[in-house]
Structure 1
């Protein structure tokens, strides 16, 4: 029978939440909150942070929260406890995405410890990559990481298919840029230089003068006419890198949460080998383009994330809200 003190439980759960907030999220909205009741940690979607226009169904919000759930699972295992997870445990409470409890005592394996060590180190990249290719052996390992969560990661090997993905990304970006309300929603999550906000995309998180890759995958215009951005790495980083698509066989809320867990597992494994990811989900925010990709390029699988993988010298710091902003703890009577 497991024996653990109240202090050990509280410390472990707090460490899990501290890790969870470092998950990637669309525009770094960090659309999650957590509640602790005894030994149970609840992960909730924060609908106030959902993108009403570009993510009306909440798909990207749930993928983001799924990535946070993976960080919780890894942290509990790294600290010696098997996580007991229930996804969408209460149909009457749709914002409650998962509950996690500390199960049996376990000894973390080397791979778990490796992934856990990358949680705060992993960064999203928003430019091209160096010409150094990602080794095929590592790409296949990333495919296996997604598969372990029941999700498919498909490296796009066909040059024609890469051109299609690039063209649809640029088309979606151009259409979205013409929509004033859509643009206002996006730039509300853009930080000016020297901002003290602990959310959104900081000005140092993208290049000041991005150079196009070949083929070109359009980036979000967070600066929106301002001379913001970083000069780091942008002049030598023009490679597209390895393009990959994360897909699921179905497209339910549970699938989105599962996709987020798989995505984070892939990203952490990649980070351990100094590989970064750049995301291009513009086309997936447009119903007809997403359906086109599903039917014409992905054999009926539902695309959840389009990414490029590669090497970069970018070492920008991430920003996250403190645990006190996202955690509610029930005090014993």
Structure 2
């Protein structure tokens, strides 16, 4: 009987780890691996998958792993168990980002079930959105989702939106001039047979005909032979996700909040695009945060209504679920 129980537990956690692997990450780098130990899942950062040019501090790596932590929590809750978790539980293991344990059985609420159901439906959408206005009630729910995870989400007004778009363009120009940027971009967009990470050509999206939207231009390298140009929405809905601190704990917090926001948006049939260029340039990130501000900008999110986005590939479970990984 105990063997059957252990097997069922292993199967449940394995399903939840598979779901966690669908979390968003910078350039779909999927910089994580997992280990199941009894009723606990360890979530580890994989520093070998950090983007050295764009992310020298590892901030975006931790945001990505934080998103995987929240996805794991949401999957466990949707399966009828209450997850209990610790962030950076062992000072001697800085790449052990979290331990997530199965708590008591409890039927999930309608919201918890909806978040879990949204996991396989969430995809980054780099295409133009429709002009329809996002309802205020939905924006309020997104702000509540971020606050639930200890982050701050603000909607940019007309003036703020113009500033953010301008800063995004400036950041993209600075990044393009950075030594190694194109090579790093090429590495994560290079077509390789059987590849299960990176950004495939199908997910790159069209050119912005007016070159105004701060969506990363993956077409700089390895672009499709003929890439169409389309006008993006004139008045995008843009939100800034921020945290009260700017240390690894805060970055993981930002990642968990980001994924809760993205899954909440998916529930509302909203398309989303996390935008990171403006927060990848320190001087521009400081302008976004506000000099002397107590809040630190971690990510920009564009959202609206759009056509379904293509699925990006995911590494097989055998690559991310390690049984005897050295620590």
TM-score bracket for the superposition, by shorter chain length: over 0.9
Where do 1:33-44 residues align within 5 Å? Answer: 33-44=33-44
1:257 to 252, 271, 282: 252
Q: In structure 2, what is the equivalent of residue 321 of structure 1?
A: 315
What is the rounded CA distance, in whole Å, between the counterparts of 2:266 and 2:320 in structure 1?
26
2:267 to 257, 264, 272: 272
1:228 to 2:227 alignment: no
Structure 1 gap ranges (5+): none
Q: In structure 1, what is the equivalent of residue 181 of structure 2?
A: 182
What is the rounded CA distance, in whole Å, between the counterparts of 2:284 and 2:223 in structure 1?
31
CA separation of 1:42/1:226 partners in 2, compared to 1, >3 Å: closer, same or farther? closer
Give the CA RMSD over aligned residues: 2.3
Q: Mean Cα displacement is larger for which, 125-134 or 10-19?
A: 125-134
What is the rounded CA distance, in whole Å, between the counterparts of 2:225 and 2:242 in structure 1?
31
1:90 to 2:90 alignment: yes
Check the 8 A contact 1:153/1:247 in 2, yes or no.
yes
What is the rounded CA distance, in whole Å, between the counterparts of 2:241 and 2:37 in structure 1?
34
SS at match of 2:86: strand
Q: In structure 2, what is the equivalent of residue 73 of structure 1?
A: 73
Q: In structure 2, what is the equivalent of residue 311 of structure 1?
A: 305
1:212 to 2:207 alignment: no
- Displacement, 1:237? 4.3
Q: Output the TM-score relative to the length of structure 2.
A: 0.93
What is the rounded CA distance, in whole Å, between the counterparts of 1:57 and 1:203 in structure 2?
28
Q: Mean Cα displacement is larger for which, 248-257 or 306-315?
A: 306-315
What is the rounded CA distance, in whole Å, between the counterparts of 1:229 and 1:313 in structure 2?
23
CA separation of 1:205/1:41 partners in 2, compared to 1, >3 Å: closer, same or farther? same
- Displacement, 1:149? 0.9
CA separation of 1:96/1:85 partners in 2, compared to 1, >3 Å: closer, same or farther? same
- Displacement, 1:133? 1.2
1:259-317 CA distance string (max 9 Å, x none): 11111011001011211111221121111111122225x94310010111111113312
Check the 8 A contact 2:45/2:96 in 1, yes or no.
yes
- Report how many aligned residue pairs link the two structures: 324
Where do 1:144-183 residues align within 5 Å? Answer: 144-157=144-157, 159-183=158-182
1:46 to 2:84 alignment: no
1:201 to 2:196 alignment: no
Check the 8 A contact 2:128/2:230 in 1, yes or no.
no
SS at match of 2:102: strand
- Displacement, 1:324? 0.9
Q: In structure 1, what is the equivalent of residue 62 of structure 2?
A: 62
Check the 8 A contact 1:204/1:230 in 2, yes or no.
no
Check the 8 A contact 1:36/1:330 in 2, yes or no.
no
SS at match of 1:131: coil
What is the rounded CA distance, in whole Å, between the counterparts of 2:97 and 2:171 in structure 1?
30
What is the rounded CA distance, in whole Å, between the counterparts of 2:258 and 2:56 in structure 1?
21
- Displacement, 1:93? 0.7
1:164-209 CA distance string (max 9 Å, x none): 11111101101111224122112211143x8431101111112243
What is the rounded CA distance, in whole Å, between the counterparts of 1:6 and 1:220 in structure 2?
45
Check the 8 A contact 2:43/2:96 in 1, yes or no.
yes
What is the rounded CA distance, in whole Å, between the counterparts of 1:302 and 1:326 in structure 2?
31
Check the 8 A contact 2:25/2:31 in 1, yes or no.
yes
What is the rounded CA distance, in whole Å, between the counterparts of 2:271 and 2:277 in structure 1?
19
Structure 2 gap ranges (5+): none
1:231-281 CA distance string (max 9 Å, x none): 79x646434421100000111111111111111011001011211111221
- Displacement, 1:330? 5.0
Check the 8 A contact 1:126/1:279 in 2, yes or no.
no
